[in-house]
Amino acid sequence: MHQHPHTSRRKGGRLAGLTAALAVVVGLTTLSGPGAHAADNPYERGPAPTESSIEALRGPYAVSDISVSSLSVTGFGGGTIYYPTSTADGTFGAIAVSPGFTAYESSIAWLGPRLASQGFVVFTIDTRTTLDQPDSRGEQLLAALDYLTQRSAVRGRVDSSRLGVMGHSMGGGGTLEAAKDRPSLQAAIPLTPWNLDKTWPEVRTPTLIFGADGDTIAPVSSHAEPLYTGLPSSLDRAYLELNGASHFTPNSSNTTIAKYSISWLKRFIDNDTRYEQFLCPLPRPSLTIEESRGNCPHTS
């Protein structure tokens, strides 16, 4: 329980009251700006969000990047680490992102700076071969997270207890595999996922699945929707079906994917309930959302 100075004050005189009030003002001033931390949530990063701040092309943090050669790692194909440049806010939660079948890191690269600028370390990866299947992509996402937290140049900036996974198509199928294999993951976001396995009762990681109404490669009726239904009904889970979208919509900058992904990652990796307003109640069908499902309020 967090106690504010004024709640613990007893009978102090007028001067004591003023001193306490001044201390509060000085404290607030010191903590203002993008580095503001709420005393009640040590994982909160950045200013209070608005609809426009989660839709913006860039968030409040300037971003740097490091290229990781496939020759310097094992278990995945290398990639690019995007991270907030400043060290003033301490560590950040982190995610790894996998591309789909036959595709390269470049196909999901837009998520790197878009998510990192909101206060995450984001590792967009290549797989060992572009033909790797979902179970392999899941293992590679976990190998990338292990590299990020244990060996990368930015390991000191990452909170290794607050990690998540994302991926497109077979990389989205791999996202579920990674969550199944490592229940300590705090968030999972499959994008127009493809996986032949529709049963996921083992998953304990809050999962947001994006489908695309016009997907003919991984139709929602045989992939995204049964994958969502295959998650435990007791899990914090959501399904958002993009309107007027295709299998490849997640391969370019997309504000609907970005705003709900940022909200999900903030809510579950940072425990940041300031973002709950964008997730619950569920977004209603609109020009951008064909259908939405999920539990509200969240339970974790």
Q: Which residues are catalytic?
A: 169, 215, 247
Enter the tokens of residue 106: 């470049």
State the pairing for strand pair 79-84/121-125: antiparallel
Binder among 92, 101, 228, 278 for ligand 9J3 (CB under 6 A): 101
**Where in 4-91 does DSSP place strands (E)?**
63-68, 79-84
Binder among 117, 118, 169, 207 for ligand 9J3 (CB under 6 A): 169
Which one, 15 or 196, has the nearer CB to ligand 9J3? 196
Please tell me whether residue 63 adopts helix, strand or coil conformation.
strand
- φ/ψ bin of 119: left (φ > 0), alpha (ψ from -120 to 50), beta (otherwise): left
100 binds ligand 9J3 (CB under 6 A): yes
Q: 139 with 181: CB under 8 angstroms?
A: yes
Half-sphere exposure of 193 (CA within 13 A, CB side): 34
- Contact set for ligand 9J3, span 224-263 (CB under 6 A): none
Q: 256 with 227: CB under 8 angstroms?
A: no
Which one, 83 or 110, has the nearer CB to ligand 9J3? 110
Please tell me whether residue 168 adopts helix, strand or coil conformation.
strand
Q: 134 with 168: CB under 8 angstroms?
A: no
- What's the min distance (Å) between Cβ of 222 and ligand 9J3? 11
Binder among 181, 291, 292, 295 for Zn ion (CB under 5 A): 291
176 binds ligand 9J3 (CB under 6 A): no
The total number of residues written for the chain in this structure: 300
Core vs surface per residue 217-231: b (16+ CB within 10 A) or e: ebbbeebbbebbeeb
Answer with the entry of Zn ion, ligand 9J3, none that 65 interacts with (C-beta below 5 to 8 A by kind): none
Binder among 20, 36, 56, 217 for ligand 9J3 (CB under 6 A): 217
Answer with the entry of ligand 9J3, Zn ion, none that 36 interacts with (C-beta below 5 to 8 A by kind): none
- What's the min distance (Å) between Cβ of 189 and ligand 9J3? 15
Which one, 191 or 203, has the nearer CB to ligand 9J3? 191
State the pairing for strand pair 237-242/207-212: parallel
218 binds ligand 9J3 (CB under 6 A): yes
Q: 120 with 91: CB under 8 angstroms?
A: no
Answer with the entry of ligand 9J3, Zn ion, none that 291 interacts with (C-beta below 5 to 8 A by kind): Zn ion
* Residue 270-289 contact track with ligand 9J3, rule CB under 6 A, x = bound: --------------------
Answer with the entry of Zn ion, ligand 9J3, none that 76 interacts with (C-beta below 5 to 8 A by kind): none
Q: 108 with 141: CB under 8 angstroms?
A: no
170 binds ligand 9J3 (CB under 6 A): yes
State the pairing for strand pair 289-294/237-242: antiparallel
Which one, 215 or 241, has the nearer CB to Zn ion? 241
212 binds ligand 9J3 (CB under 6 A): no
Helix (H) or strand (E) holding 143: helix 134-150
Which one, 101 or 228, has the nearer CB to ligand 9J3? 101
Residues linked to residue 212 through DSSP beta bridges, in sequence order: 242
User: Rule CB under 5 A: which residues touch Zn ion?
Assistant: 241, 291
User: Rule CB under 6 A: which residues touch ligand 9J3?
Assistant: 100-101, 169-170, 194, 217-218
